[in-house]
Amino acid sequence: MTKKQKRLLIRIIVAAVMFAVGILYHWVAPEPASEWPEIVLMVGAWALVGYDVVWAAVRNIGHGQIFDEKFLMALATVGAFALGDWAEAAAVMIFFQTGELFESVAVQRSRQSIAGLMDLRPDFAIVLENGQQVEKQPEEVQIGDILLVRPGERVPIDGVIIDGSATLNTSKITGESVPSSVKVGDSIVSGCVNLSGVLQIKAKSAYEQSTVAKILELVESAADQKASTERMITRFAKYYTPSVVIAAALLAVIPPLFFSLKWAVWVKRALTFLVISCPCALVISVPLSYFGGMGAASKLGVVVKGGTVLEQLAKAEIAVFDKTGTLTTGEFSVRQVNALSVSKEELLHLTAAAETYSVHPVSAAIRKAAGESAEPEDTQEIPGCGICARVEGKQILAGNRKLMEQYQIAYTPCDAEGTIVYVACDGTFLGSIVVGDTVRSSVGATMRELKKNGVKRTVMLTGDVENTAQAVAQAVGIDEYHAKLLPQDKVNRMEQIRQRPNPAGTVLFVGDGVNDAPVLAMADVGVAMGGVGSDAAVEAADVVILNDDIGRLPKIIRIARKTGIIAKENIVFALAIKAVVLVLGAFGYTPMWLAIFADVGVAVLAILNALRTMTYQ
């Protein structure tokens, strides 16, 4: 509990004791005894526990916000005092504040999972300058600075370890509870906690572009994105509260005025009607359900950008996947070298030189297999085809079949499984290099889980050749695949998928953030795996899985579906109980203290139901 919550709890306990003493006095005091001790105790209990409610109501009226639960409570209890119902007024305020305390604690609990991510921000960074340790703000660290991270400290900036080894707690970043070991040469992301060993890290990004900064930006923006159910409840409360105030006023006036009934009886019923009508069960429990869902996702190392995304995820029917880095590990290696007129070493050497400046994983695999290579004199990337480069005075072409056909090179087709890089030198075909990727071990199980969770069709989009795409699709259980797609082709294909007859469901796209931003933005829900590594992916994606575990996707969909169900349960339950008690209160069958008890009870039950989303997996 926070200090404020503890103070409220103490006030409730003291007020409840005063209320109990007042009731006891009323029961045991002899008949001629004065009522003033009871009145003083009841008014004192009401004032002690409810002064802030009355003050908030007055302040809100001054700001033009009249019809809220504070106003209803203040009006009802002051009206009860006017009718001489001292005990009832005190009981109403005690029950109301007890409900407020429950709500406050529940909201705090639901925020803790997401607030845990907010603790990622490092307080300082130790920079080594001329052999001295200089403490700086993370924002002051420059790319290339050498940082010192001691045991127990949080890594402030993304970087590469240049000295030392350690064990890191990455749970706040990836959701993994098992610590990971790192050594010299390993990349390390900000937000992790160093559990052992002293590390020297070379910063490879500014704080604004670091992993932790991107996660914090995602978390801060998530709460602003409300689900349509939340927006509906907000609009409902806006019109509902003034409507019940008008209804209560009519209930107080019409029967005495037109039917000569007792004013005291009907004014009291109207005040009871006001107490019952308080919409706090809906206003609190529905947003709390979605906030709890986002908190449950954050425990898995997944950031969901708001309740509206959870709502869309719950309706997911088609899941579209990028292949490289998503269904596969993205860790390519050279599996086969088919050299014709040159040696295998020469073919690798020339290809690696041509691919020197390419960031594609296939290029990196070829460079790794070749070792050292020459610097290209000139390079030109041909989108969707490959690279044309000048190496040691020779024109080198390295790419797919389209590149060979574009330059009218007579080549020997290769049907091996994997990504085929065809190589030509000065118009002569030299051979081909087969580069393979590894399918993630969890993908097959993930596809089966998606089907169990309501996803009706899975689709793969890839730029790879037909046989490679077919092999991966069959291996993991993908329903449909489209191969040999250029970047713009993926966007067009995604548009076609979205235009299929699918009135109720939504379309997901899952990518690794590399060249996926346009398709991520086009999908109903874009899911970036490890997307904090790409600014474009963070901007375009609606869901960011902070590690590379695609198995988190079905779990997030389950959480989204459960969140929606719980939110609807709260709406139906609260409105049904509210309607019944309102009718009973209007006809005098519900005393005011029982009405507020029922209202608080409904709110507490709805809140406890909402909190179930936090623990659902």
CA distance 558 to 164: 41
Query: Any long-range contacts for 16-19 (C-beta under 8 Å, 24+ apart)?
Result: 16/45, 16/94, 18/42, 18/44, 18/45, 18/48, 18/90, 19/45, 19/87, 19/90, 19/91, 19/94
- Which sign does the torsion angle of CA 596, 602, 606, 607 carry? positive
Q: Is 200 exposed, middle or buried (0-12, 13-18, 19+ CB in 10 A)?
A: middle
Could you give phi then psi for residue 176, rounded to 5 degrees?
-85, 130
380: number of Cβ within 10 Å: 10
> Annotated catalytic residue: which of 68, 322, 437, 516?
322
CA distance 265 to 593: 15
SS3 state of residue 608: helix
Q: Is 562 exposed, middle or buried (0-12, 13-18, 19+ CB in 10 A)?
A: buried
- CA-CA-CA-CA torsion for 189, 192, 196, 198, nearest 10 degrees? 50
CA distance 88 to 98: 15
As a residue count, the chain comes to: 617
SS3 state of residue 257: helix
* Residue entry with tokens 């529940």: 106
* Residue entry with tokens 């900064």: 213
Residues in contact with 494: Cβ distance below 8 Å, sequence separation at least 6, in sequence order: 320, 461, 507, 509, 519, 522, 523
Say how far residue 108 (Cα) sits from the centre of its chain: 17
119: annotated active-site residue: no
Q: β-strand 480-482 against 166-169: which pairing, if any?
A: unpaired
CA distance 147 to 127: 5
**End-to-end C-alpha distance for the chain, whole angstroms:** 26
Q: Which positions are catalytic?
A: 322
